[in-house]
Chains A and B, each alone.
Chain A
Amino acid sequence: VSPTLVPLVVALPLLTAAVLAAVAHLAHPRFDDLVAIAVSAAVTVCCVLLVFRSADGTIHYWFGGWKPRDGIAIGISFSVDPLAAGIAALAGVLATAALIVCWDYFEESVPQHCYVLMLVFLGAMVGFALSSDLFNMFVFFEVMSVAAFALTGYRIEQPSALQGAINFAVVNSIGAFMLLTGIALLYGRTGALNLAQIGQVLARDRPDGLVIVAFTLLVVGFLTKAGAVPFHFWLSDAYAVAPAPVCVLFAGVMSDLGLHAVARTYWDGFSGALGADAEALRAVLVGLGVLTALLGGVMAFVQSSLKRMLAFVVVSHVGLFLAAIGLLTARGLAGATVYVVADGLVKGALFCAVASLARRIGHTDELVSHGLGRAIPVTGSIFAACGLALAVVPPFGTFLAFSLVDRSAGAVGYGWLPAVLVAATALTGGAVLRATGRIFLGLGPRRDELLVEAPPGEEREVRPAPRAGALLWLPALLLLVAGLGLAFTPGLPGRAVQQAQQLVDRPAIARETLHGITSPTPPDVSFHPPGESYLYAALSVVAALGLAWCGLYWRRLPKRAAAVARRVAGGSLRRLELLHDGVVGEYVTWLTVGAATLGALFAVLIR
């Protein structure tokens, strides 16, 4: 295995960003764009190579050759397994697509900072995905965050963009400080920053108060980035104002990285100490996931601004993944990872399509754009296909992943979980399908008092161009094809389960990381979705189409049903919407209350 590839995927984008920042103003205006696209494509290729190279065994890369001695790790390492490398590859693909969209997207010539920031963002995301050292995770978390804050506030002439960036920055920074406090406590207890070594020390004793506090702080820090309820309030403000190509990366991979970190921290670090209380932990994590999935789904369904709608789609699907990871099984982890990649490609395609729509008609609001999308049928078809993919239409990638989660839930006594998750996939798919019908087919009325209007100043995206170039919709199409086609990789779910089985075996990971003793690979697994999963998927697709129809034509429903819809939208949904009012102090209050509640739950249920 060529180990140089491992640091290269982080160093290449970071170094290029530095060079571009220094010299790009001397070169041709398109120079930095081309270099950035080339570099992110190269990172993607390297990450895909790493997926295959690490399939035979996790690659441990120790920076500067500081390998552990006598089981003590002083050096800093990247641990590359196929699942982590897969998420890094996802970041690479999405960054490439986003940069290609950027080429035609901005009306004025783009200052080079956009490309520099995108490359820094990419490097940090890849580093975060591969890092197995807690403090390095914190540093990459912060580098990723700072680049993301700056990209969110990129349209500096709009106060709403600045406000979105500030909300994002304040809430995420507090999350990061909680993370750092947790890391400091763990270091004080274990004397280690390497996750495997932390896991070894913690596994010796029953968990005490300090371990539970540290675990809570780490989980809250990562979930703030992921956007789980009630840490998600910043997310819709930030996504609504960030340029659409930037949202491709936000929605497709940034949120999911938070969950990847939760999984890695739990399995490598805490599963030895908290393993005896897995039942209680499972209840809390799955509960939080279900709450997030449903709240996000409902909120997505009532938005008329496409970007806010997709922001809540992201929240809802973060809930799905959290519930899947929270099952604390290898199959759940495998399902969540395949889901993250397939769904990330689809959400990336959706935001590319939003960019294409915005460039063509100048708006991203469903009601304002009523019927205007007829001129761009390709984008419309992409929207419709993405809506169906969100509603887990078989036999594509999202369906396979859903099926893995479904089987895993049944195995640990959570047989009711898939039925609840179907509600979330139907709501998010339905919301996108409704918007597709209204914008691209001109269905439904032009006004709808049940939908939440975007705050003024958010809806204008870019000045419309006479025609949308292929560079705008082609990346969307390619991402969609990749997202759907992922399912046809031979043996994908079986391999994912096999890899996940290795990742949840903490003692084996610790032996391998700290002592270099490799364990035998578990036997091949094959997985075929059972009939029951097809039933759930059919239910989800039918419900999504039904919800989309109801969203367009709720006035045609029987009088009583329409009255109920009106009452719900005007009452409880309105109150829910008012919570997302953009005041950062309130968001921080929710974050604090959420962290305290989660900590109290862990403290009561564990031990």
Chain B
Amino acid sequence: MSLLPYVLAVWIFAVGLYGIVTSRNLVHLVICLGVVQSSTYVLLLAIGYRTGKKAPIFTSGVPVKLGAVDSVVQALTLTDIVVAVTVAALLLALVIEIWKRAGTIDPDELREDRS
């Protein structure tokens, strides 16, 4: 079992957070949020991975005893992706509305509008 996927997951999480913290554009920020979420996919799949095992697809032709990687984490990842799409769609819709009303999607300029 390699350490690489875990290091990669932490790296993706950190890069995404850095992007969110320094973002000057709300669309960029929403994409960075997606980057942060991608780290959870990598982590989940890494946790369920078994070296040399097949994908967890059981049909009549494949003997079960060969074993497969953990299908639970794959189900979790799929659910996670559905969540990500919902959140991203909603956020991007909000960003479009902000652009229409305020004429800017820079968080710092939006703050100046506020004060």
**Chain A residues in the interface with B (C-beta under 8 A):** 135, 139, 142, 145-146, 149-150, 153, 156-160, 162-163, 165-166, 169-170, 173-174, 176-177, 180-181, 184-185, 187-188, 193, 455-457, 581-586, 588-589, 592
Q: Are B91 and A455 in contact (CB under 8 A)?
A: no
> Scoring B residues 70 to 102 as 1 if CB is less than 8 Å from chain A, else 0, what string do you get?
001100100110010011001100110110011
A518 to B16, CA, bound (A): 47
A139 and B79 in contact, given A181-B43, A582-B114 (Cβ under 8 angstroms)? yes
16 A–B contacts, CB within 8 A, in A order = A157-B101, A162-B94, A162-B97, A166-B95, A173-B37, A174-B17, A174-B36, A180-B80, A187-B73, A188-B47, A193-B72, A581-B114, A584-B107, A585-B22, A585-B29, A592-B17
Q: Are B29 and A169 in contact (CB under 8 A)?
A: no
Contact residue among A146, A188, A456, A585 (Cβ-Cβ distance under 8 Å from B90): A146
Given A135-B79, A177-B40, A586-B21; 10 other pairs, CB 8 A cutoff? A142-B83, A153-B97, A158-B101, A166-B94, A180-B40, A181-B40, A581-B115, A585-B22, A585-B107, A588-B21
**Chain B residues in the interface with A (C-beta under 8 A):** 9, 13, 17, 20-23, 26, 29, 33, 36-37, 39-40, 43-44, 47, 72-73, 76, 79-80, 83, 86-87, 90-91, 94-95, 97-98, 101-102, 107-108, 110-111, 113-115
The secondary-structure label for the interface of chain B is helix
A184 and B91 in contact, given A156-B97, A588-B17 (Cβ under 8 angstroms)? no
A contact residues around B39 at 8 Å (CB): 177, 181
The secondary-structure label for the interface of chain A is helix
Q: Are A583 and B43 in contact (CB under 8 A)?
A: no
Separation in Å of the B110 CB from the closest CB of chain A? 6
A165 to B79, CA, bound (A): 23
A187 to B75, CA, bound (A): 13
A169 and B94 in contact, given A146-B87, A582-B114, A585-B22 (Cβ under 8 angstroms)? yes
Separation in Å of the A172 CB from the closest CB of chain B? 9
> Which 8 pairs show the lowest CB-CB distances between chains A and B?
A188-B47, A455-B114, A159-B102, A159-B101, A585-B21, A142-B83, A162-B98, A180-B40
Separation in Å of the B108 CB from the closest CB of chain A? 7
Contact residue among B22, B73, B98, B115 (Cβ-Cβ distance under 8 Å from A166): B98
